[in-house]
Amino acid sequence: MNSSFRDKLLAWNKSTNKRSMPWKGEKDPYKIWLSEIILQQTRVEQGLSYYQSFIAVFPTVHDLANAPEEKVFKLWEGLGYYSRCKNLLASAKIISNELNGFFPDTYEKIKLLKGVGPYTASAIASFAFNEPYAVVDGNVQRVLARYFGITTPIDTSSGKKLYQELATSLLDKKQPGVYNQAIMDFGAIICKPSNPLCEQCPQQQDCEAFKNDLIRQLPVKEKKLVKKHRWFYYFKIQSPETIFIRKRTEKDIWQNLHEFALYETNDPSPFPHQPFLNELLGAQPYAIISQSRVYIQQLTHQTIHGQFIEVSTPEDVFLPPPFQKVNKCELSGLAFPKMINTFLEEQAM
């Protein structure tokens, strides 16, 4: 059954798979690594333009390692999960400075890079160095769960082990990179999460989910995602020429991005500004100019509700670190969360 699955998959890949991506068939480990980091928690459609921009601006790992951090984060802006960008920079510096630009060439060495787990290491090792490591992502789990009728939850330790062992047993050891790409493409094109193309599927005859009407039930997840709500009240404290911003350094969402003065609550607050501004500005004069509409940004585990309060101050107003006063014309060169960018874009219209 395993060889039948593998043979049919590779035959489909050779004759029918027309999925085109700029990193498919790529052998440069730097470019493969870049694409894999970008595609962690990001859809291909969204990540494509970012990959092309990074390759254009940073064609080698040395270029990335020596770039100003602000420039890299600005290019990453909008992709989310900014710890990926931080890890990307840290690993680039190691490869450039400690390994003389030579990318680690084995699975075990690749896995030592910051931000690289078993899946990413398997992808790079198989695509760039033809090492026999099977990739297991959401596409692969879905294909295997349906074909073999697996009811073990994919988000449990036993499930992860089962899927990894099964994927490894199916791997074509002679052409692991081709096989890995084929099964991921198959999950994206044929065995889709919703409305899979079962009538076009070469595996249909042996697919347990198809035979037993379990397509919608598989794969199984044990944990229900509980999303929390957060309310962000941003205070745009400004004079005619300058504005106060700070960098988010906490281990939280949007780390290393800039923002305005922030007051956060767990529930909506109709008038949060008076006590917050009095504490922040003390006796310094200010005037509240306007309050924006509510902006909503949906993240994987949480919903952010944001509102912007514009505060006018004299030019000589002072805020202590971590706040810094910048000229308004500098804002376009700094990296901000999507919500703040949307607000700034609407203001400029």
Catalytic residues: 36
Please give the structure tokens belonging to residue 300: 């994987």
96's CB contacts (< 8 A; 6+ apart) are 61, 62, 64, 65, 66
In whole angstroms, give the CA distance from residue 294 to residue 308.
8
CA dihedral 297, 80, 252, 71 (to 10 degrees): -120
Longest Cα separation, the chain: 77
Q: Which two tokens stand for residue 4?
A: 């039948």
The answer to whether 236 touches 308, Cβ cutoff 8 Å, is: yes
Identify whether the C-beta of residue 107 lies closer than 8 Å to the C-beta of residue 6.
Answer: no
Tell me phi and psi for residue 309, to 5 degrees: -110, 120
Cα gap 236→309, rounded to integer Å: 6
C-alpha torsion angle, residues 169, 170, 173, 178 (rounded to 10): -150
